[in-house]
Structure 1
Amino acid sequence: MTETNIEALVRSLVTPLLKHPDDLTIHQTTDDRFDRYVVDVHPSDVGRLIGRQGHVASALRTVVEGARPRRSNSKKVRLLINDHRH
């Protein structure tokens, strides 16, 4: 089985939602429990990425978590959206 490239998956899911896709950056950090992917977008696209009551963000997190390998030693995946308002 091939391992999924999580960053490419996030990029392919997020890009169609954005009005400014050129401003999309994804940073990965890793610790002993999690692989974190921080998504930075243009400030006017943050709401489009989060969605009403967080439904879009929740759906993105569900897909990304489902794509991670199910090995016993694999880390959990965290998808964080950088909200420029805070």
Structure 2
Amino acid sequence: MLTLVRPLVQKPAAVKVTPREDERYINYVLDVDPADVGRVIGRQGHVISALRTLVEGARDKRVNAKKIRLVINDQRH
């Protein structure tokens, strides 16, 4: 995950991914610098949509029935 996001942002040292698991999902909470949130989301959400597709496609569907979600922690609000 970090290797996908760090090239997109201006402050790669601020990128942090925290996995959180609940009953149905494995949530990856993505923390980036507030100035880089727009870069990760992309125009009309195309970048984050592509990242979500890659992350979901990388999971082993036979081993774990839980879906994977990628959540951006927007610290601006």
Question: In which range does the TM-score fall when normalised by the shorter chain?
Answer: over 0.9
Give the gaps of 5 or more residues in structure 1. Answer: 1-9
Give the gaps of 5 or more residues in structure 2. Answer: none
Q: Secondary structure at the match of 2:50?
A: helix
Identity %: 57
Corresponding residue number in structure 2 for 1:53: 44
* Pairing 1:14-25 to 2, within 5 Å after superposition: 14-25=5-16
CA-atom RMSD in angstroms: 1.1
Shift of 1:72: 6.1
1:11 to 2:2 alignment: yes
Out of 50, 60, 70, the position equivalent to 1:69 is 60
1:78 to 2:69 alignment: yes
Shift of 1:84: 2.0
- Runs of 4+ in structure 1 deviating by more than 4 angstroms, as ranges, are none
- Matched letter for residue 47 of structure 1: G
TM-score, with structure 2 as normaliser: 0.93
Pairs aligned (count): 77
Alpha carbons of 1:72 and 1:23: their partners in 2 closer, same or farther (altered >3 Å)? closer
Corresponding residue number in structure 2 for 1:6: none
Of the structure 1 ranges 74-83 and 42-51, higher mean CA displacement relative to structure 2 is found in 74-83
